[in-house]
Structure 1
Amino acid sequence: MKRSTHIATLSSLVDAPRPDGGERRPAEDGSERGDDSSHPGPPRFVAVSETIEDPNGNDQHDRDALAPRNPDPDAEYSWSVADAPDGSDATVGADPVVSFDPDVPGAYTLELEAPDGRHELTVHAFPEEDEDDPRPRVEIDAETVGDRVVLTAAATTPPADDSIDPAVDVELYVDDRDKDVLAEASGAISASELDEPVRIYAVAAGRRYSVADAIELVPEGDSVTVERPYDPPEWLDDAVFYEIFTRRFPDQDDPTFETMAERVPYLADLGVDALWMTPFVEANSSFGTDAERGGPHGYDALDYFSVDPELGTMEEFEAFVDVCHDHGIKVVFDLVVNHTSILHPHFQAAADPDHEDHEKYRDWYRWEDEGELEPDTYFNWSTIPNLNYENPEVREFVLSIVDFWADKIDGFRCDVAWGVQHSFWKEVYERTTAKDDEFLLLDESVPYFADFSEGEFHIHHDDRLHKALSMAADGDADAILDAVERRANVGVPAYRPFLQYVENHDLDRFIAEYGREAQMAAGAATFTLPGNPMLYYGQETGLEGYRDAMNWGEFDEELNGFYRSLIEARKSIPALGSDAGIERIPFHAESDHVLAFSRVADDQRVVVLLNFADGPRSVRVGDYVETTDLRTGEAVAPTTHDDGSLEFEVDSVVVVEADRPTPGTGPEPADERAPERDFDDADGLAAVTGDDADDSE
């Protein structure tokens, strides 16, 4: 892994004159960032091979469009290309929500005419690239040196590029909404000249371009405060998640919000920090839905603004949230806005030519065959038609759902996030975090895409790790570290965590498929790898049906104690934290079901031994480890070989401390923040100032 640091000052980012001779014309009320502004948001970054579009079907998992913020369905909007690179013939449509296909590399300036004025949006197209190549990563920072603001951007090549060492450059951009703050400046710009916040983006580009990182410079007297708008909420650090299949979690003789509240002390005692609830709005699949139809899952909403009356009232739900908060538990709402139920009143109107609101709602949905009123759906989900995000009315409606629930809970888990446009998620991100910078956004994108990290979501489902856990149970434990390494190779920022799970509501129970011992090893992996571990209700109690009722009073107490020990270890051992690094280490095992790796924090190193086999297996590591299992606090008795190596007998997991640095490499170093540097001579845009040596720690 290679790292280089790039330095610039604000003066290097002041706009050059427009090639077309035009001038920027801000919104008439001067509030490009105002709550009611139509400005289409942060600059966009694509490759020439990528079209900003949102086609039908489920072949494309990277949907997008350009759209006004805070859309008014009754207003008129128009787009145009104000500036483009030489040789470009790119155009943009006339609708409020449009596609865009950049045809040559370079910076494009698009203009949106809206009721509140004309807004400019930068779209930078990088050269065509091979999507199979790994992506670089970048992190931007700033500090005040004397009276100047000095920007630093640390670019990191992916682990897979170590032997190639491609040249990676960094480009910096000012948010189009903030350019007027710098417009009057000339020469060196001092910190005291900033009278409003300015958001700045960095993108690293080599053979491929990176996900953009962002900082916001907030004036504070003669200095600035640097805020990181893309960083996760602080409470997410090492938080343990717990997912419930909402209608199956409480006692089944009286499954209500009130009886769920009675179980919150159990979750708190277990060590849960965040509770993800599957949908509990009024839905077609409520109580009484049989197992063949997925049970009472709630992912087919009938009314987004009410709770299932069989669970209780809105007031009773809010009281349940209060109980969770009293026990230190955040509540995450499952936001399902890619589709509605086929029985939703809006779709009923859309699908019925005789309905009085047919013309209005027909354009609310996407159609595979509009003439036959056959809805566009993904896979075989025939009862949940896809909403049409190219319609401003739909965007306005869904934003009202977001606003309604964001005031009641602590975060959204966004179902089928890949089915909704990036531009919409960017608006949701800014909208929710502006109200509460501790609000969480978790995406379901299977497989995950790095671009959802760019001002859209704080944490991602790690479907690749789940697959690797299954491979480990089948005898390929090395797949686990390959899955972790993939995060860096696809360009997910180092500060962006993953949700690590053995089971969830869409998957068969691991214990039923692979057995108790393998389930314990898989669970241990999710608690000892970097990321946020999640338990699916009943995983810790021996439940075998993936959507069965919680087995209250019939727990596997030994299994429950095992998971309690994992949670305690995760919270008490610094080297198991999300910010700690992970390294491959040499080891010998008699089975491919076994894996060893080290975790590295500032003041601690530990070695983790995992066994997915049915029965104990031995694993041999170097003489650099202690002989106390940190999870249990008990001494273990390894066999010492003539070369000093130690052979451990492992049931499911052993965690031991290393008394000196482990001989490890990759897949993910501990800390990729930009190193401290002397900026006394920085002026304008400096060349690469980092060294070109390996920085894989």
Structure 2
Amino acid sequence: MHHPGPPRFTTVGDAVELAPRDPDPNESYEWTLLDAPAESDTTVGDGAVEYLRPDVPGVYRVELAAPDGTHQLTVRTFPDEREPARFEIPVEDFETPAEEIDRVGVIGLFNDHLWGRDEAVREGDRYVFEAQLEPGVHNSTFIVNDGEEHHHREFTVEGPGRPRISLDAVRDGDVFRIEANARPPADSSTEASALDVVFCLDDRADLEESVLEVDGQTAKLPASAIDEPVGVHAVALDQRHSVRDTVVVGDGGDTIAHPNEPPAWVETATIYEIYVRAFAGERVQTTFSALERRLPYIESLGVDTVWLTPILASPTEHGYHITDFFEVATDLGTREEFESFVAACHERDIKVVFDLVINHADHEHPAFAQSAAGVPEFRDWFVWNDRAEPDADRSRGPGPDDMRAQRYFNWSNIPNFNYGEPAVRSFLLDVVEEWAPLVDGFRCDVAWGVPHGFWKEVRERVHEIDPEFLLLDETVPVHDPDYHDLEFDLHYGTEVYSALRQIGSGDAPAGALLDAVADAERAGFPDQALQMRYVENHDEERYLAEYGRDSLRGAVAATFTMPGVPMIYAGQERGMTDSRGPIEWQSGDTGLTNVHRRLSKTRSETPALESGTLERIEYHTDTEQAVAFGRATDDQRVFVALHFGPGTATVRLPEGIGSTELVTGAPIEATPRDDGVAVSVADVLVVEATD
């Protein structure tokens, strides 16, 4: 079925991709704008893949003519949220002498990280770039001349946070009743009960919208009207709109599904990222068989999910430049040996996450070579720009056809796939279906570079194969809740990661951790969205090398005790300082390894740490390098104290604590103080609350 999928929710200023699902490159597809607000002047093209650019708030309806018939899609558009943003950098911050600076380019998510699209303007003693951006934290990079120097800057656009919503549904006689749990952002004065909620039916349902009866934050749908599963979507409205939530109600039975919820196993998972070719060590080649032999060690860490960096054919050590999307790298072994590794993981109840790279290909991939050579079948597989445009890298023919392939940043060897080409979409869906049946999840590289609509299609595809399939997005440094809109389950927790780095460097107090969690909520991430907690990964410097062992122990403890899914980057637990160097098996820090084991075990044995809510508590400490908080479920409450500095910190916790520290099992020496008890904390203390 070529229907473009669920209805879309957007704002004025954001373009919505329109594309057929499961396209046949040999067939024709055409879009038509059926309906738009009276004040709108927008149009859509008639190609297979187009963009709708809503220019006023309201409801837009488009129709796709496809080989299997016509399909309609509704786009609900809310007011423009953007505000003026001004990034600036003093000239004196550049190492390049001012008289040698010809141009200063600016890249960020606001221009798709395309090098050369925007330039900063010299204003007196600084370079300035202005843009219209939605409220929140935005990152930019200033690039001098042709890239010999670059600087990062962060800018916060002031404005309201986003509300959040979750849907519950029950069958009551002949009616499915859908209740919205709408919550305003923390900075809003609106009561939850006063929030507007917009409900709508999935466009794929053969039902009139009027069959859905809406009364405030409740919707009712007659079960007798349904002869197949139907999606009901909703967003909450305050000054901005929420990420949608969805329920799917059954086909005359009581079936109710929540497609936006992560797989149940992920909430309690502990992830272990393996930078594949470095894992076996300096003198041993990493192969799938070598990985399989080390599973007892991985299991000993309390890990139940392994994420492998790319394992497909690639000329690079890291594997992110892929030359064959259907073959494993020969230096790692055969496909049969990879499948043996996966089976061995499953025998130990360890899930396997595959690194899916579908934003780009290596420039030696046959499709790119033929696209560059002007072969008609492949001409539009990549995005080609005029040679005069600098955000490109490779020639395609002489004379007027002299073009270059678009890529992000200065990634000159990995041109971007053109998602406007149906053949590309079909090819990459085949890649998804090739590997999804073998593994338990995808970590999706450069997820921000792939259209939202394609990820929505990928989600439905993999859930048809395995309803418990995990999707983890790499959307860094911007942490965007819209990637939880029927797309991803688990997200890089960049706010907490950044806070841990700032605490380690001494640029922020330990209490910044609690604000970082609140920042993700303010951004609009739904309650069911899971955040991955980490101190490092293969793209970042080792935390130990940057901030030392004391800070590392506190930071690792934070990843296991704060809400979210902890991730260990292989070698972190061995005291590695080289981010991509071979694992030091013989000379590694076994004491630090055991710290990770204890934390993993404590989390798995403490329900409040695995799934409890975060509570701010009254505490006092003698250093800014310490922080305390609570975690609670209906049946358990614990207090956690973290310390990122040398020696020990004294932390006063509320009265009523247990006598045993849960990480070490040691008795707690608590000294009564006014309104609490004082405890000594080296790196982490977890204690059960008794009151």
Fold shared by both chains (TM-score > 0.5): yes
Q: 1:174 deviation in Å?
A: 0.5
Q: 1:644 deviation in Å?
A: 4.6
How far apart, in 1, do the equivalents of 2:66 and 2:193 lie?
Answer: 43
Q: Aligned residue for 2:19? A: 67
How far apart, in 1, do the equivalents of 2:410 and 2:212 lie?
Answer: 57
Quickly say closer, same or farther: Cα 1:143–1:186, change in 2 above 3 A: closer
Correspondence 1:383 to 2:413: yes
Which residue, out of 62, 65, 69, partners 1:117? 69
Correspondence 1:45 to 2:9: yes
Q: Aligned residue for 1:549? A: 582
What pairs with 1:459-538 in structure 2 (closer than 5 Å)? 459-475=490-506, 476-538=509-571
Which residue, out of 153, 156, 172, partners 1:145? 172
Q: Which amino acid aligns with 1:215?
A: V
Quickly say closer, same or farther: Cα 1:184–1:238, change in 2 above 3 A: closer
Q: Which amino acid aligns with 1:212?
A: R
**For the Cα contact (< 8 Å) 1:40–1:121, is it kept in 2?**
yes
**For the Cα contact (< 8 Å) 1:135–1:157, is it kept in 2?**
yes
Which residue, out of 617, 622, 625, partners 2:657? 625
Q: Aligned residue for 1:320? A: 341
Which residue, out of 432, 439, 453, partners 2:469? 439
Instruction: With the length of structure 2 as denominator, give the TM-score of the two structures.
Output: 0.83
**For the Cα contact (< 8 Å) 1:334–1:415, is it kept in 2?**
yes
**For the Cα contact (< 8 Å) 1:88–1:104, is it kept in 2?**
yes
Paired residue total: 594
**For the Cα contact (< 8 Å) 2:629–2:641, is it kept in 1?**
yes
Q: 1:604 deviation in Å?
A: 1.4
Q: Which amino acid aligns with 1:96?
A: A
**For the Cα contact (< 8 Å) 2:211–2:222, is it kept in 1?**
no
How far apart, in 1, do the equivalents of 2:192 and 2:210 lie?
Answer: 38
Quickly say closer, same or farther: Cα 1:462–1:184, change in 2 above 3 A: closer
- Over the matched positions of the two proteins, sequence identity in percent amounts to 44
Quickly say closer, same or farther: Cα 1:261–1:189, change in 2 above 3 A: closer
Q: Aligned residue for 2:223? A: 191
Give the stretch that moved more between structures: 164-173 or 553-562. Answer: 164-173
Instruction: With the length of structure 1 as denominator, give the TM-score of the two structures.
Output: 0.82
Q: 1:507 deviation in Å?
A: 0.7
Q: 1:166 deviation in Å?
A: 10
What pairs with 1:265-284 in structure 2 (closer than 5 Å)? 265-284=296-315
Point out where structure 2 has 5 or more consecutive residues left out of the alignment. 83-133, 136-159, 215-219, 388-400
Alignment deviations for residues 628-673 of structure 1 (CA, whole Å, 9 cap, x no partner): 21111111213323x252222211110112222xxxxxxxxxxxxx
Which residue, out of 245, 252, 256, partners 1:213? 245
Correspondence 1:364 to 2:381: yes
Q: Which amino acid aligns with 1:101?
A: R
**For the Cα contact (< 8 Å) 1:530–1:576, is it kept in 2?**
yes
Quickly say closer, same or farther: Cα 1:84–1:644, change in 2 above 3 A: closer
**For the Cα contact (< 8 Å) 2:383–2:418, is it kept in 1?**
yes
Quickly say closer, same or farther: Cα 1:165–1:225, change in 2 above 3 A: closer
Q: Aligned residue for 1:4? A: none
How far apart, in 2, do the equivalents of 1:152 and 1:105 lie?
Answer: 26
Alignment deviations for residues 213-261 of structure 1 (CA, whole Å, 9 cap, x no partner): 00111135xx422111111111112100000001111244242111110
Alignment deviations for residues 296-336 of structure 1 (CA, whole Å, 9 cap, x no partner): 10000011111111111111111111101111111100001
Q: Secondary structure at the match of 1:619?
A: strand
Q: Secondary structure at the match of 1:423?
A: helix
**For the Cα contact (< 8 Å) 1:137–1:210, is it kept in 2?**
yes
Correspondence 1:539 to 2:572: yes
Q: Aligned residue for 2:423? A: 393
Higher relative contact order (CA closer than 8 Å, sequence separation 6+): 1
How far apart, in 2, do the equivalents of 1:241 and 1:624 lie?
Answer: 34
Q: Secondary structure at the match of 2:40?
A: coil
Which residue, out of 637, 649, 656, partners 2:687? 656
**For the Cα contact (< 8 Å) 2:184–2:190, is it kept in 1?**
no
How far apart, in 2, do the equivalents of 1:577 and 1:276 lie?
Answer: 20
Q: Which amino acid aligns with 1:489?
A: R
Q: Aligned residue for 1:683? A: none
Q: Which amino acid aligns with 1:299?
A: Y
**For the Cα contact (< 8 Å) 2:177–2:221, is it kept in 1?**
no
Which residue, out of 34, 51, 58, partners 1:82? 34
How far apart, in 2, do the equivalents of 1:125 and 1:183 lie?
Answer: 20
Q: 1:122 deviation in Å?
A: 0.5
**For the Cα contact (< 8 Å) 1:268–1:328, is it kept in 2?**
no
Point out where structure 1 has 5 or more consecutive residues left out of the alignment. 1-36, 53-64, 286-295, 661-697
How far apart, in 2, do the equivalents of 1:331 and 1:165 lie?
Answer: 40
Alignment deviations for residues 528-581 of structure 1 (CA, whole Å, 9 cap, x no partner): 011100000011111221111112233322111111110011111111123x11
**For the Cα contact (< 8 Å) 1:181–1:196, is it kept in 2?**
no
**For the Cα contact (< 8 Å) 1:47–1:126, is it kept in 2?**
yes
How large is the RMSD of aligned CA atoms in angstroms?
2.0
Q: Secondary structure at the match of 1:236?
A: helix
Q: Secondary structure at the match of 1:119?
A: strand
Q: 1:428 deviation in Å?
A: 0.4
Give 1 or 2: higher strand fraction.
2
Q: Aligned residue for 2:268? A: 238
How far apart, in 1, do the equivalents of 2:206 and 2:35 lie?
Answer: 16
Give the stretch that moved more between structures: 256-265 or 130-139. Answer: 130-139
How far apart, in 2, do the equivalents of 1:100 and 1:535 lie?
Answer: 41
Quickly say closer, same or farther: Cα 1:471–1:162, change in 2 above 3 A: farther
